[in-house]
Structures are given as structure tokens and as C-alpha cells.
Amino acid sequence: MMCPVCNGIRLLEADCPRCLEPLLDCGPEQDLAGPYAPYGPAAAVSMLAPEKERQVVPVCMHRLYCTVCSHSSDAGVPLTLG
Ligand SMILES: [Zn+2]
Ligand SMILES: [Zn+2]
């Protein structure tokens, strides 16, 4: 299992919910085991999936930051086989 974003296969693209500017990917947060990762740092609910299809899958948590308004958020990138 690997993160396609960390491995440069694809870019993590998301827009700031406040100002709609592209968010900057600040990298993975795999060392953080917070309340969003009840099954460990390598498993969390993917926020990229449609809500009804959300399930606990292995993800790489990335910190996203808006350089325009300083808004920060997290995004879980589903890991892929390989
Ligand atoms: Zn990653
Ligand atoms: Zn912003």
C-alpha cells in the first residue's frame, strides 16, 4: 500500500473552502494519531469519497494549507496497491 500523492503519481488538488484558491499540500501527517484516526495513523475515513460511500480505508493524511487566507485542513488520500 502506498500513497499516490507522496509517490508523485498524482497531485492532491483541492480548493480552499473560504476563498477557492488552490490549497498547498504540506505533506503527510502519518506521525499524527489524532481523533480522526481511531484505527491508527494509517487508517481513517476517506474524505474524498462520496459521503454515502465513505468507509474506513487506509489513507495517507495530508495537511492542506491556503497561502491566501491561512486556512488549513486535512485530506485523506486513499492508499493504492503497489
Ligand atoms: Zn501521502
Ligand atoms: Zn483560502
Predicted confidence at residue 41, as pLDDT, reads 47
Sequence-separated (6 or more) residues with CB below 8 Å from residue 40:
33
pLDDT single digits (tens) 15-72: 999 999 999 999 998 555 555 544 444 445 556 666 666 667 889 999 999 999 999 9
Lookup: cell for 76: 485523506
Q: Is residue 36 part of a domain?
A: no
Q: Is residue 37 part of a domain?
A: no
Determine the residue type at 20.
L
Name the H helices within 1-82.
none
Q: Which ligand is nearest to the CA of 67?
A: 2
Distances (CA, A) of 56 to 14, 24, 37, 49, 70: 21, 25, 9, 11, 29
Distance from the alpha carbon of residue 65 to the mean position of ligand 2, in angstroms: 8
Q: Which domain holds residue 2?
A: 1-30+42-82
pLDDT single digits (tens) 12-31: 999 999 999 999 999 998 55
Who surrounds ion ligand 2 at CB < 5 A?
16, 18-19, 66, 68-69, 71
Q: Is residue 23 part of a domain?
A: yes
Distance from the alpha carbon of residue 20 to the mean position of ligand 1, in angstroms: 22
Q: Is residue 35 part of a domain?
A: no
Q: Which ligand is nearest to the CA of 63?
A: 1
Q: Is residue 79 part of a domain?
A: yes
Lookup: cell for 17: 473552502
